[in-house]
A and B are shown apart, each in its own frame.
Chain A
């Protein structure tokens, strides 16, 4: 699972360079996110604009990532494509995560 990061002020934006986060890639995604966020950034934004499909295993892996970051660090989501947005809404996980339309919005809001 290919991830890349950019850091703006206190915010680390992690871009997922994969079309699917599914049962076949959920564990790789979790491991890659642990390594990518080992920097200790307090505010992590997962940029999912390149991801077209997430199943319940992928959703579980994103929840696991949030738990791994712990109470003191925040994980937001950004750039949800239609089928990915649908999964978050149907499972009510959209009430758990702060979801931004664009990753850059998350930086601005967090800074203010």
Chain B
């Protein structure tokens, strides 16, 4: 099966522009009849990855661009996210990124730090390359794994 382009878009790296891009992506996934649970996984993982680019990749720099491409392959949905921000630290790319500790008192409950944990949980495969000052992040979602993941 020849990969079918589903989405190709570029977004400014701001919270508002990313939110708008994600709504367009959700619509495209629904129109392509990707099932609701898989659409939910893709949208959550992409939201966390793109929010990270805004918050960390381009932190203290002028807001750059985020380029997104989604292809439907025979066995997977492939998401490619490319940006010109700072490199992603290696330890975040390891599977098993830790969940923040919830055991402390009420006042110390974490309000963040869930992003990479959720990206790992929701994707079946993650590939990352730093090439020519660009981050290339590829997220794969196997189409038959819908029953295993939520």
Contact = CB atoms under 8 A, between A and B. Distances in A.
A22 interface: yes
Interface in B99-113: 99-100, 102, 106-107, 109-113
A98 interface: no
Contacts of A61: 111
Contact of A67 (B36, B109, B121): B109
Interface string B83-117: 00000000000000001101000110111111101
B109 A63 contact: yes
B118 interface: yes
Contacts of B36: 82
Given A67-B107, A67-B109, A56 B15 contact: no
A90 interface: yes
B64 interface: no
B74 interface: no
Given A20-B19, A90-B118, A55 B51 contact: yes
Interface string B19-41: 10011001000000000110010
A87 B44 CA distance: 9
Contact of A92 (B48, B99, B150): B99
Question: Interface of chain B, helix or strand or loop or mixed?
Answer: helix
Interface residues of B, number: 33
Given A57-B51, A87-B44, A90-B121, A25 B19 contact: yes
Contacts of B106: 66-67, 71
Contact of A87 (B37, B99, B118): B118
B47 interface: yes
Contacts of A38: none
Given A23-B15, A24-B19, A83-B44, A63 B110 contact: yes
Interface of A: 20, 22-25, 53, 55-57, 59-61, 63-64, 66-67, 71, 82-83, 86-87, 89-93, 95-96
